Amino acid sequence: MTQTLELVATTRIERTAARRKIDLRPAVFLAPFVVLVALFTYWPLIQLVYLSLFKLNRSGPDRFIGADNFLGVLDNAQFHDAAYNSLIYIFLSIPFKVFLPIPLAVFIWTMGAKLGNFYKAALFLPTLLSFVVVSIVWIWMLNPVMGLFQSVIGPLGLQMPSLLSDVASAIYVIIGVGAWKLIGFNILLYLAGLSAISRDYVEAMRLDGAGDWVVLRRLIVPLLSPTILFVAISTVVFTIQQVFTPIDVMTQGGPLNSTTNLFYLVYQYMFESFNVGYSAAGALLIFLLLGLIIAAKMIWFEKLVHYS
């Protein structure tokens, strides 16, 4: 008897579920966004894979050439320098762009409101400036003959070194300018994260006997870790976007390939050589490289992040 009842009950539920109407409204609201993303992000990505594996032909079918484009990119005379520089750029940027803003943000956090606002505005200003403008101004500040720094140290009998024309230092100038530009923005992100930390914790730790360094290391950094992860990822993304402009304006990849990188290489393939296959292959390589970096970051960091 009970079994029959159960059977009746389940079939009734199933029928009711089938008759219940599916609510289409979320789909309708999401549709435009999904369409845009599909059209401008995912479709080009698929095309990219296609373009990297085929040779375009105006007067006939495209020819499948497999890994030829990839080999061509790897064979590029500047490829090794470009790949090496890309890694240097990303990994050296991180300490300056991700870690340096932490103590700066903490410093501003402990100031009063007025002074804090002044510093926030002053440090954020470079982020708002156009990178082209920033690059040109920095060229002129660093110029060893007429630049701002030379005019200050010249009377003291010192000579500004040729930082942008020297193979050893050019890339660090680019990294430095990029960092200078982004630090203010990351400070604001950290300040947002800090605002969620109750001052009680800091006071409790001070009474426990902690000095500034201990408070930073054992309290602020752990509680800030979700923000740090976010800043790390967004910094890598921003850095990639920014990595073209200063080089195009300041050094065009030189001197002696010391500032070229994978992104600049793809640009050159596409816009200076119109080599679609190579640039697609190069772009795909960059995509994979970044994917690896971010995956590694997420796996490694997730263990350390504390979500309260």
Partner 1 sequence: MSKFLLSAVILASSILSAPVNAADPVTINFWHYQNSNREVLTQTIKEFEAANPGVKVQELFKDLTNLATEIQAARMVGRAPDVAQVLARLTIGMVETSNPVPLERGPDKGAFLANVASNFLATGAYKGSTYAVPHSFGTPVVYINRDLFRAAGLDPDKPPRTWQELREQGLQIKQKTGKHAMFVSNGGRDVGPQQMLVNAGANMLSEDFSRATFATPDAIAAMQLWQDMAVVDKSVAVFTERENYSLFMAGQIGMMVTSIASFQGAQRSAKGVFDMGVAHYPTWGEKPRRVPNSGASLMIFSEAPQRRDAAFRFLAYMMKPEVTNRWAVQSGYLPIAPGAKNADIVRAYVAEELRWGVAVAQMDDLVSTARWPGTRVVEIQIVLENMVSALWQGKGRAATLVPAAEKEITRLIAAGAN
Partner 2 sequence: MATIHFSQVCKTFGEVTAVDRLDLTIADGEFTVFVGPSGCGKTTSLRMLAGLDEVTSGRIFIDERDVTHEQPKARDMAMVFQNYALYPHMTVAENIGFALKLRRLGRAEVAEQVSRAAEMLDIAHLLQRRPKELSGGQRQRVAVCRAIVRNPKVFLFDEPLSNLDPQLRTSARGEIRALQRRLGVTSVYVTHDQIEAMTMADRIVIMRDGKVQQIGTPVEIFERPANTFVAGFIGNPPMNILPLAALGKAAGLSPQLAGVDQSETMIGIRPEHVSFVSVSSAATIARVVQIEMIGTECLVHAEIGAERIIARVVRPLAPRIDETVGLAWPDDEIHLFDASSGRRMGQNLRLSA
Residue among 149 and 230 whose Cβ is closer to partner 2 = 230
Residue among 173 and 220 whose Cβ is closer to partner 2 = 220
Residue among 204 and 295 whose Cβ is closer to partner 2 = 204
DSSP string, 147-189: SHHHHHHGGGT-----TTT-TTTHHHHHHHHHHHHHHHHHHHH
Polymer length of the chain:
308
CB of 151 to partner 2, least distance (A): 44
User: For residue 218, how far is the Cα from the chain centroid?
Assistant: 27
Q: Is 113 in the site for partner 2 (CB under 8 A)?
A: no
User: For residue 297, how far is the Cα from the chain centroid?
Assistant: 12
User: For residue 208, how far is the Cα from the chain centroid?
Assistant: 38
**208, interface contact from partner 2, partner 1, none, CB < 5-8 Å by kind:** partner 2
Residues touching partner 1, count (CB under 8 A): 37
**48, interface contact from partner 1, partner 2, none, CB < 5-8 Å by kind:** none
**22, interface contact from partner 2, partner 1, none, CB < 5-8 Å by kind:** none
Between residue 52 and residue 91, which ones bind partner 1 under the rule CB under 8 A?
Answer: 56, 58, 72, 75-78
Helix (H, G, I), strand (E, B) or coil at 54: strand
Between residue 288 and residue 307, which ones bind partner 2 under the rule CB under 8 A?
Answer: 306
CB of 85 to partner 1, least distance (A): 14
Buried b (16+ CB within 10 A) or exposed e, 251-287: bebebebbbbbbbbbbbbbbeeeebbbbbbbbbbbbe
Interior angle at CA 96, CA 94 and CA 101, nearest 5: 110
Pull the structure tokens for residue 263: 């992104």
CB of 285 to partner 1, least distance (A): 17
Helix (H, G, I), strand (E, B) or coil at 273: coil
Report d(CA 160, CA 152) in Å as an integer: 10
Q: Is 35 in the site for partner 2 (CB under 8 A)?
A: no
Residue 89: count other Cβ atoms within 10 Å of its Cβ.
23
Between residue 179 and residue 218, which ones bind partner 2 under the rule CB under 8 A?
Answer: 198, 200-201, 203-211, 214, 218
Q: Is 272 in the site for partner 1 (CB under 8 A)?
A: yes
β partners of residue 64: 54
Residues 152 and 269 sit within 8 Å (Cβ to Cβ): no
Buried b (16+ CB within 10 A) or exposed e, 174-186: bbbbbbbbbbbbb
**222, interface contact from partner 2, partner 1, none, CB < 5-8 Å by kind:** partner 2
Report d(CA 129, CA 304) in Å as an integer: 34
User: Applying CB under 8 A, which of residues 48, 143, 154, 176 lies at the interface with partner 1?
Assistant: 143
Q: Is 139 in the site for partner 1 (CB under 8 A)?
A: yes
Q: Is 234 in the site for partner 1 (CB under 8 A)?
A: no
Residues 221 and 102 sit within 8 Å (Cβ to Cβ): yes
Residue among 161 and 222 whose Cβ is closer to partner 1 = 161
Residues touching partner 2, count (CB under 8 A): 19
Pull the structure tokens for residue 259: 């500032």
Residue among 77 and 207 whose Cβ is closer to partner 2 = 207
Q: Is 250 in the site for partner 1 (CB under 8 A)?
A: yes
Interface ranges with partner 1 (CB under 8 A): 56, 58, 72, 75-78, 136, 139-140, 143-146, 162, 164-167, 249-257, 268-275, 278
Residues lying near partner 2 in the complex (CB under 8 A): 198, 200-201, 203-211, 214, 218-219, 222-223, 306, 308
